[in-house]
Amino acid sequence: MRGIEKLKNKKLIFATHNIGKIKEFEQLFSGIGIDFLNLSSFKIEDEPIENGLTFSQNAEIKIDYYFNRIKESGFEFKPETYLMSEDSGIEIKYLNGDPGVKSARYGGDITTKERNELILSKLKGVSKIERKARYYCCIKVLNFFDEVKMEFTGKLDGYISKESNDGDGFGYDPIFIPLGYNMTISKLGNELKNNIGHRSAATKKMISKIFNYER
């Protein structure tokens, strides 16, 4: 580890209302000295329409939208303050890359459990080799002071299980098995997910580039 003293005055605002993502990123940034905030600190409850065709485009929509909303709140911009947006999802080979950017809305207005069951039903009888999938994450970071943006990506390859397994994590974690393992992310637990996951991969690139910090 290095650079921790330099990070004590750094603030990072995560532009999301997703509780699962907030908790995961809090764990990913724990212990490195960054003041990690989210939109609740600014009493922002609204959200933009995510109509991008790629994860990058959706992350861009979010960072631009919340940057303007935070500016409206009268927040004092300083060089050591950053805004972060993130868009991520799962791409399944047999479904021609779906759910993709629609991962959070796949199947319409249904619960996460129902969404996972929908995926499993569409893959019923499909062989393991055709159940290939990958988690993909795109992070955008903006420095409030000079408004410079940077992008960082991460992925985790794996395949879809034949049944849902509850445990840690959220989203598609109960049905996603990473390559090299025989249990779903939910069963493997948060500690391993934070080491090998797609958000972890993107976050490590980010803190190394922007904050000059290595875990």
Task: Give, in degrees to the nearest 5, the angle at Cα 101 between 11 and 183.
Answer: 85
Evaluate whether 83 touches 144 at the Cβ level (below 8 Å): yes
Task: Give, in degrees to the nearest 5, the angle at Cα 97 between 94 and 101.
Answer: 145
DSSP string, 181-204: -SS-HHHH-HHHHHHHSHHHHHHH
Annotated active-site residue in 35, 46, 87, 146:
87
- CA separation for the pair 201, 194 (Å, rounded): 9
DSSP string, 67-120: HHHHHHTTPPP-TTEEEEEEEEEEEEGGGTT-BGGGTTTTTSS--HHHHHHHHH
The verdict on whether 87 is a catalytic residue reads yes
The DSSP H or E segment spanning 122 is helix 112-122
- For tokens 């580039």, the residue is 209
Residues that are catalytic: 87
